Amino acid sequence: MSAEHPMSAEPPMIPVRPIASEPTGLHLRDGENGASVTVSFYDQVGGREFFQKLITEFYRGVADDPVLKPMYPEDDLGPATERFTMFLEQYWGGPGTYSEQRGHPRLRMRHQPFKVNPDARDRWLGHMKNALDSMELPPLHYETLWSYLERAAHAMVNTFDE
Ligand code: HEM
């Protein structure tokens, strides 16, 4: 029998790593010796620099949002930018620093203190779309990231109260 408390379990609809249909690894032949190497989605989009730029841009939008900004416990959005960047890096095959520092993501549980209603979700997604549009990603990479973020944001809704 599992000893885990039911409230601490991450619901299955928010995956903590890419689902099978997401093209996260590109298999290439190494020109030197013919060995196969796998390039993670993280590396394909440009590694840490890409995610840092994306999330910095995203939080620029959040900083001006009258509904979202007051939800953030710290006035300075720098630490929140770093946590979200680390999470996405880890999710897409980069370094596992997020879990080393923060433990298991348990994202729905971590969002419980905040009122994530459909309005908050749509605002969040609007800022994310603006940020993603500014990155000039190839269409497949754009769609892969966007469909993940859209699904995750819908799964994060925890109230329908206005
Ligand atoms: C749907 C609307 C959402 C709202 C309104 C929202 C709001 C927030 C707030 C207020 C925080 C606390 C700031 C902090 O301490 O870092 C937070 C943290 C975080 N959010 Fe969201 N969020 C949303 C969706 C998402 C989604 C879809 C993801 C993932 C794809 C995500 C990933 C994170 C992560 C990784 C953290 C930091 C968790 C930690 O380690 O403490 N959020 N979010």
Q: Is residue 64 part of a domain?
A: yes
Structural domain boundaries enclosing 118: 41-156
| Number of compact structural domains in the chain | 1
pLDDT tens digits along 36-70: 778 899 999 999 999 999 999 999 999 999 999 99
Q: Is residue 138 part of a domain?
A: yes
- pTM comes to 0.87
Report the separation in Å between the CA atom of 107 and the middle of ligand 1, taken as the mean of its atom positions.
Answer: 7
Report the separation in Å between the CA atom of 87 and the middle of ligand 1, taken as the mean of its atom positions.
Answer: 10
Q: Is residue 95 part of a domain?
A: yes
Q: Is residue 46 part of a domain?
A: yes
Q: Which of 62, 110, 127 to mutate to test the pocket of ligand 1 (most atoms within 8 A of CB)?
A: 110
Q: Is residue 19 part of a domain?
A: no
Burial class (CB in 10 A: 0-12, 13-18, 19+), 88: buried
Q: Is residue 141 part of a domain?
A: yes
What pLDDT score does 21 carry?
60
> At 65, phi and psi to the nearest 5?
-95, 120
Secondary structure (H, E, C), the chain: CCCCCHHHCCCCCCCCCCCCCCCCEEEEECCCCCCEEEEEHHHHHCHHHHHHHHHHHHHHHHHCCCCCHHHCCCCCCHHHHHHHHHHHHHHCCCCCHHHHHHCCCCHHHHHCCCCCCHHHHHHHHHHHHHHHHCCCCCHHHHHHHHHHHHHHHHHHCCCCCC
Q: Is residue 99 part of a domain?
A: yes
pLDDT tens digits along 87-142: 999 999 999 999 999 999 999 999 999 999 999 999 999 999 999 999 999 999 99
Write out residues with Cβ below 6 Å of ligand 1: 68, 71-73, 80, 83-84, 87, 102, 107, 110-111, 114, 116, 120-121, 124, 149, 152-153, 156
Q: Is residue 93 part of a domain?
A: yes
Tally of CB atoms within 10 A around 145: 22
CATH number at residue 146: 1.10.490.10
In this structure, of 13-17, 24-28, 156-160, the range with the lowest mean pLDDT score is 13-17
